[in-house]
Amino acid sequence: MKKLLSLFSFGLLSCGNVVRVGPVAIPTQDPASRATPSVSFHSLTATDINGAPFSFAQLKGKKVMVVNTASECGYTPQYQQLQELYTTYKDKGLVIIGFPSNDFGGQEPGTETDIAAFCQKNYGVTFPMMAKVGTKGAEKHPVYQWLTEKAKNGWFDSEVKWNFTKYLVNEDGTIHTMLASATDPLSDPVIHWLDGTK
C-alpha cells in the first residue's frame, strides 16, 4: 500500500493501456548556450480545423502552448483545464494551439467537423484548433518536426509519446519546456511560466 501511494504522489496516470509519468525531463543547460534554430517557430504554418491557413507569424510576442489532442483518451477532460487556462491568460498574451492527432491508440478517429463539434459541445473550446496531423514518423507535421528536432529548434530532441503532450514556447519563439500528458494544464510549471516566476 505504501508503495502504491508513493506512485500516486508522483502523478502516475493512465491513458488506454499505457502509463505516463510527467513532467518529462529536458536539458538543463543554460538557455544562453542554445544553438540558433535552423527554422524559426514564427515562420511555420498550419491549416486550422476549418481548412483556413494559420500563420505562426501572428504568434510573435506571445507565449504559446502546443498540445496534441484526442477526443477518446483518458486525458480528454484536459480540454476543460486548457480552456480555463486560455480564458484566464489569453488577454495576457497566451495562445493555446490544439493539434488533433490519431497517432496514439486510434483515439481521434473523427473528421475535423466531428472534432470541432465535440470540442464546442463538451468543453466550449475557443482556443485555436488545427486540422488533424501526424506527430511522429513519416507523417510528422512540420510544426512537430520543429518541436521535436534539435536541428530545427536549436534546443533539444524529443518525442511525442501520447495524447496531450504539451510544448511551451516563449515569446521569442524558443522552446521553454515540454510537459508529459499527465501534467495538468493548470499545474505549477505552466502557471510559473506564464507569470514569469520561474
Sign of the torsion angle spanned by Cα atoms 163, 133, 79, 123: negative
Give the Cα separation of 129 and 103 in Å (integer). Answer: 17
Give the Cα separation of 159 and 144 in Å (integer). Answer: 9
Residues 67 and 82 sit within 8 Å (Cβ to Cβ): yes
Q: Supply the residues annotated as catalytic.
A: 73
Give the Cα separation of 189 and 23 in Å (integer). Answer: 9
Residue 82 identity (one-letter amino acid): L
Among candidate residues 148, 162, 144, the one with its CA nearest the CA of residue 104: 162
Residues 86 and 183 sit within 8 Å (Cβ to Cβ): no
Among candidate residues 164, 17, 36, the one with its CA nearest the CA of residue 105: 17
Residue 155 identity (one-letter amino acid): W
The pairing of strands 94-100 and 63-69 is parallel
